[in-house]
Structures are given as C-alpha cells and as structure tokens.
Structure 1
C-alpha cells in the first residue's frame, strides 16, 4: 500500500518538475521577445513635447527690458526613442539659450523674436541625432527702456546685542560704501540708497567681520547692481565706568554780579574704553549754568554739559539742577 502511494507521489513530482521547466522556458522566451520588441520600437523616430527653462543671452548693455519674457519654452523634439527617453524623464533639464541679438525692430522700443527662426540654433544645442521641429510660444516680444545709472550709499541693516561691558567702538564700516545701480529712470528716481538684508548678532564681545547681502526689493523690477554684497566691519571694545568732579561755571553773567551755585561742583559719570581710560581727565569736560535761563520765582538752574571728549559715551551728571544765589560784587 505504502509502495503504491510513494510511486504515485513520485510520478506527480516528475510531472510538476516538467511543468516548471516549461513555464520557465516560456517566460524566458517572452522576456526575450519583449526586449527585442522594445529595441525595435525605440529605434524608430518619434516627436515629443518637452518644457525647458530659458536663458536670454547677448543683452544690450545700454538698454533695459521692461516687459516680462517667457522663462520656459515648449520644444517639439524629433529623434529615436532611445534619445528622447533621456529628455522625457530627466528631472533636471538643460537651459536653452535665446539670442537677443536676433530680435527684429517693430516700432519705437518694441522688438520681437520669431521662434521659428531659432530652430537651427536650438537644434545645435542638443545632441546631433535630436532635431527641434517646433517651438511654443512662436514669438517673443521685447520692450526696451533706456538704461541709466547712479551711485548710491549702502546702509547696513544690522542689530547688535553686546555682551556685558562691551560696546561698538565706532560706526559700522562698510566696503564699498557706495555702489552703482542701473535701471529705468522711473525706478532710479525713487531710490536714494540701498539696504543690506537684516542681520542680528547676539552677545558680541569682539570685532566682527561679516559679509552682508544687498537687499533687492521686488518693486524695483530689473534693477542691476554693481555689487550684490558688501563687507562690514564692526569694531568692538570693552568699556568701563569712570567719574570726574567738575566745577560749575556760569554763562551770560552780567557785569557787576556774582552767581554762586550750591553745590559748586558736580560729578560727571561716563563710559570709556579701557584703552582710553588713562587719556581722559577733568579738563576734557565743561559744565555750566546759564544766567539768562533764570525763571522768576525759582532758585534752581539746569546744569548743562558744554563739552565732553569724543571717546566717552553715556555721560550723566550727579546733579542736573543746582540752587543759586546772586550777589553784587
């Protein structure tokens, strides 16, 4: 009994092996057939439409294009299937070049380029087996304006947050300080300066060198800049606080009178760079009250800072008002 079952199973197993071999042979032949069919199909010529980015070359130096030119063109390409597959499925397509010198005069500052006249030039930009048979749009219209230039200052748009006791030693130094801008006269008449893109610096405690991009506002259209960025230098130094005691002087005092203030001296407090600390003394400052500013019924006068050295900042008085008495000499 067992022997019969084994013989039956063995016969079925042989039939299965023969079936699998026939199936594999069939699939292999089918794959070869499909491959041969693809080779034959792709060797034939086809025409496909492909969109390409456009770059315009040989722009006139003394003119400005005032209208919007197409930034993409649809080209009909003719070639074998092998060659066209590369253009059909390629994600990053080559930029096609349009020569502005081929523009023909229409009237005044208006010109146009007939796309059909560009077929040979565009075909030359592709592989030898690829031919451009048509282009959309079929015409490109160009409006020119006269280009003018002017020199304008660059303003740094920068926000600084200094670490404790550190401050900017002087103004932000820009190089170059001026740039040349070119465009239509209508646009340039509205521009007196250009600004950099905003920059924020935190916890600054040393001199900073930074490249700053010049901000080109969209409303300015096709504005050309001689520089797209500038170099900025910010001198940073450490400051300390210092105090000087000064005698209060009197301004505009009439002859024959004497004015005495109480107190007769005030303290002036200021911040100064460490490097300049020893260079500053009391004689560099001058404080005074003005006799002509006396108000009726008041016995106080405002103390004014008439002079302070340029190296100091944040100058403050211990008393901004003092009492006074007037006597005859």
Structure 2
C-alpha cells in the first residue's frame, strides 16, 4: 500500500513539473521594473535632477525567460551620459542596443517613461549641521527635556553645486517614535537624494525624555542696569515670583541664583505707561510660565 502511495505521489509531482514546463514554454506578456542607472559622468560631475529610480518595461517572451528576469538578481537599464555636462534629453529607446541583455532574452514592447531629462553639473562638498526629522509622541506628562543630541552633529555632504550651495542643514528622514517616557537612543538615516552622498549616512540620536513639571521661585530681586550718575530708581515692588517648566531632573537641580531678573534704565526712560515688565534670564531647557507681578511700577529721583 505504501509503495503504491509513493508511486502515485511521484507521478503527481512529475505531472506538475511537466505541466509547468510546457506552460512556461508559451509566449507571455508582462511588466518588469528595472533599475535606471546613469553611467560615464565626467570626472567630478553628477546630476541632482529628479529621476525615476526604476523604469517599467512591457516585455514579451517565453515564460522561462520572464521568470528568470523577475526572480533573478536585480537588473539595470544603463544610460551613458556620454562624458558631457549640461542639459541632457534622453530617449530610452535609443539605449536598447547598449542593454543587449534585454534584447537577447525578451522583446521590448514599451518603456515607461520613454524619455528622461537631467542636468549634469559639478560636484562640491559642504559641511552641514544635522537637524531632526523625527515625529515624537510622548506619554501624558512627559516630553523632551533638553536639546536632541546627534552623533555626529554635522556631516560632509557631496552633491551637485546648484543644490548644495543653497543648503544650510541636512534633515534626517521622517521616523515616528511613540509613547516615549524615558531616555531613548536610536539610529536614523539621512534621505537618499539623487547625486548626493554623505560622510556618514546613519545618525545616532539621543533623546532626553523626562516627566515635565513646574517649579516656583519666590522673592527674586529685580536689578536695575545702567543707572546714570545722580539718578536713583525705586521699583515697586523690587522682588518677583515666577514659575518655570521643564524636565523633572533639570528642575530638581535649579537654584535661585541661576536666574537673573532686571530692568534697564533706558526702558524706564522710554516707558509711557508708568510700569515695565522685568527681563528674566534663565538657564537652558526651561520655559517661563508666568511672572508675578508681570509689571513693576517705578520712581526715578534726581539728586
């Protein structure tokens, strides 16, 4: 019984293989996506023009040939720049002969797009700071407590002169991080742009995530700056209270002497309302919520 089962299974497998072999010998039509590659640039030149990463070929051929194209190594449609700079308007049908691997395997029915335009220009280098493209979402009550750290914080970018000379920074790709509630380290890539390369394409990012809280400071003396000779200024009152917000670890270390409140004599002279808002200098990574009082009256005396 078992022997008969083996014979039956082998017969079925052989029949399937025979059917596939016969079927794939027929002629089929299909679409094939092929990587577009530009070659033969002049030394030190490239293009930053927007070009399709792949082109679509409508092809006709035996099933075996079409299968080998789709499941084999990634194939390229190579277009020579011809060693020239400036504007290029290329009809891709004119490059079928230089891509003989296609013609020897299948018949090309259609190419999309059938033409490309690009500008070949000089390559320059420029060092640019890295900025964040991250989309951050925090758990309730949490947030970013200090500046995002990038490692490296700047990179050397090589690319076409017309693009690179106007660039002031390089932004990472968009990456979403959700429900953050503690210090986080991650890696993020820089965007792939035609004609560009980087001294480092992978950036390490450090996020200082903390619980965000408020802290009150009272009885902070307000100084008066640049009082002229034989002038006296009295502030009413001369002390303020204020509330600041920031990460719990940062606020926990803050002392009153890290803040400075003041008004300038010039602002008093220019004032027409009888009261002024004091200026408050604060440490990094904290934000002011309110001043109390937010305006101070004053008296100027001469002697």
Shorter-chain TM-score bucket reads 0.5 to 0.7
Q: Which residue of structure 1 lines up, in the alignment, with residue 232 of structure 2?
A: 258
Q: TM-score, normalised by structure 2?
A: 0.63
Structure-2 residue corresponding to 1:153: 129
Q: Deviations over 1:36-79 (max 9, x none)?
A: xx99x959x987776544346694474436696882456665xx
Q: Deviations over 1:173-202 (max 9, x none)?
A: 223433454444333344333333444555
1:86 aligns with 2:36: no
Cα 1:205–1:242 shift into 2, 3 Å = farther
Q: 1:232 aligns with which of 205, 211, 215?
A: 205
8 Å contact from structure 2 (residues 51, 116) kept in 1: no
Aligned to 1:223: 195
Alpha-carbon distance, 1:304 to partner? 1.9
Normalising by structure 1, we get a TM-score of: 0.59
Partner of 1:244: 218
Asked whether the 8 Å contact 1:289–1:301 carries over to 2, the reply is no
1:241–1:141: structure 2 CA closer, same or farther, 3 Å change rule? Answer: closer
Q: Which of residues 249, 265, 269 in structure 1 aligns to 2:243?
A: 269
Deviations 1:76-132 (A, max 9, x none): 65xxxxxx34345789454444566xx59598777997644654x568xxxxxxx64
Distance change in 2, residues 1:73/1:134 (3 Å):
same
2:146 pairs, out of 158, 163, 170, with 170
Structure with larger RCO (C-alpha < 8 A, sep 6+): 2
Change (3 A) 1:301 1:161: farther
Cα distance, 1:235 vs structure 2: 0.8
The alignment of Structure 1 onto Structure 2 pairs a total of residues equal to 271
Give secondary structure in 2 for the equivalent of 1:294: helix
Q: Distance in 2 between matches of 1:223 and 1:136?
A: 30
Cα RMSD for the two superposed structures? 4.8
Alpha-carbon separation, structure 1, partners of 2:83 and 2:279: 71
Instruction: Quote the residue 2:186 is aligned against.
Output: 210
SS in 1 for 2:266: helix
Cα 1:115/1:244, change in 2 over 3 Å: same
The CA deviation at 1:314 is 1.9
**Relative to structure 1, is the Cα distance of residues 133 and 175 closer, same or farther in structure 2, using a 3 angstrom cutoff?**
same
Give the distance between the partners of 2:290 and 2:55, measured in 1 at CA: 61
Post-superposition offset of 1:266? 1.7
Determine if contact 1:244/1:281 at 8 Å carries over to the other structure. no
SS at match of 2:163: helix
Structure 2 CA distance for aligned equivalents of residues 199 and 67 of structure 1: 23
Question: 5 Å matches for 1:121-140?
Answer: 132=105
Aligned match for 2:55, one of 58, 71, 76: 71
2:260 to 269, 278, 286: 286
8 Å contact 1:56–1:98 — kept in the other structure?
yes
SS in 2 for 1:170: coil
**Equivalent residue for 1:187, pick from 163, 173, 194:** 163
Distance 1:67 1:246 in 2: 58
Aligned residues of 1:288 and 1:303 also touching (Cα < 8 A): no
Counterpart Cα distance in 2 of 1:254 and 1:143: 66
